[in-house]
Amino acid sequence: MAKGPYSDIVMDHFMNPRNMGEIEDADGVGEVGNPACGDMMKLYLKIEGDRIVDAKFKTFGCGAAIASSSMTTELIKGKTIDEALKLSNEAVSEALGGLPPAKRHCSVLAEDALRLALEDYKKKKGLA
């Protein structure tokens, strides 16, 4: 198949998203949206101690948004909160084999969702 604007990794995560779904009793939930782009991302975290033991997402958005969400959950599972907070959108984009310039904001969206979910967790725990 001829190559489109998306890398093979992006297409793989788009076609087979990892960790898609909800966590009913999530410890932290982050939801972000970009109305101009039309994307909406919701990230659910299960945290034990200071470690992310499970992560799931739901995303309304383009291929890049779905793949960024999927990749983000993969990258943070098993990480500590501090490690997860260091995850940059560039790292997500890089792990995906790059994103088209016009779609870089999708990885930013994932980073934002993660930050919000962790804040939500801290708030719930009375840590923030």
* Min separation Cβ 83 and other proteins, Å: 25
* Min separation Cβ 88 and other proteins, Å: 17
Position 63 contacts other proteins (CB under 8 A): yes
Residue of 9, 37, 62, 91 with catalytic role? 37
Site for other proteins in 86-105 (CB under 8 A): 100-105
Binding residue for other proteins, selected from 45, 47, 52, 59, defined by CB under 8 A = 59
Position 24 contacts other proteins (CB under 8 A): no
Binding residue for other proteins, selected from 23, 62, 85, 91, defined by CB under 8 A = 62
Number of residues located near other proteins, criterion CB under 8 A: 33
Residue with tokens 């001829």: 2
| 3-state SS string for the chain | CCCCCCCHHHHHHHHCCCCECCCCCCCEEEEEEECCCCEEEEEEEEEECCEEEEEEEEEECCHHHHHHHHHHHHHHCCCEHHHHHCCCHHHHHHHCCCCCHHHHHHHHHHHHHHHHHHHHHHHHCCCC
Q: Which stretch binds other proteins (CB under 8 A): 58-66, 74-82, 86-94, 117-125?
A: 58-66
Position 15 contacts other proteins (CB under 8 A): yes
CA distances 89 to 26, 80, 93, Å, are 23, 18, 6
37 flagged as catalytic: yes
Active site residues: 37, 106
